[in-house]
Amino acid sequence: MSDERGLRVYLYQEMLIAKSALGILALLVFAAALGRFLYHPMNWAMDAATFLFAWTVFLGADAAMRMDRLFCIEVITGKLPQKAQLYLKLINYGIIVIFLLGMIGYGSWLSYTTRLRTFQGIPGFSYTWVTLSVPFGCALMLITSILKIKTFARAISTGESIETRAEGVSGEII
């Protein structure tokens, strides 16, 4: 029971951070445009917006994946039996896991290679903080994918419906 509560708190915090970053991003872009219009540009605003955008994308992608809100076309697969659909989902998430492992590796390397690069508008702020969003966000999505694989495998072996299991598969928008 406490694991479920901890997951809910985590999901809420992840969503809160992603929403806040998106809101601040929008305000920064608007303020930068207004500043340029009034001949007082904020050179650092676009760099800060780049940082916030990268983190928003990956945190939002994990939240969307965790809540089954990703784009999906089920024209053919929706007509298959439940067990066949589960097997296809297992295969799909297996491919996703392989891709995410590659992204974690490449993102980690990219973060290392950009450690000396700084933003033009924010001296002393390393570009690595932007590139760290790739391995960090992909690691979160990897955890989500593994939870989904476990849930689908359990549903296949027990024959129970996925809708009855809320453990890491879907949820409501917080």
DSSP tag of 118: B
Task: Assess if residue 74 is contained within a domain.
Answer: yes
- What's the 3-state SS for 115-173? CCCECCCCCCCECHHHHCHHHHHHHHHHHHHHHHHHHHHHHHHHCCCHHHCCCCCCCCC
CA 159 to chain centre: 30
Q: What is the pLDDT of residues 106-160, one digit of tens each?
A: 999 999 999 999 888 788 889 999 999 999 999 999 999 999 999 999 999 998 8
Task: Assess if residue 170 is contained within a domain.
Answer: no
User: Mean pLDDT over residues 23-51, rounded?
Assistant: 94
pLDDT of residue 121: 77
Task: Assess if residue 101 is contained within a domain.
Answer: yes
Task: Assess if residue 171 is contained within a domain.
Answer: no
Task: Assess if residue 82 is contained within a domain.
Answer: yes
Range of the domain at 97: 2-164
Name the nearest CA neighbour of 145 among 57, 137, 17, 105: 137
pLDDT of residue 16: 94
pLDDT band per the 50, 70, 90 thresholds, residue 163 = low
Is residue 168 predicted with pLDDT exceeding 60?
no
Task: Assess if residue 16 is contained within a domain.
Answer: yes
Name the nearest CA neighbour of 142 among 30, 41, 43, 66: 66
Average pLDDT in the chain: 88
pLDDT > 90 fraction of the chain, expressed in percent and rounded: 66
Task: Assess if residue 56 is contained within a domain.
Answer: yes
Q: How many domains does the chain have?
A: 1
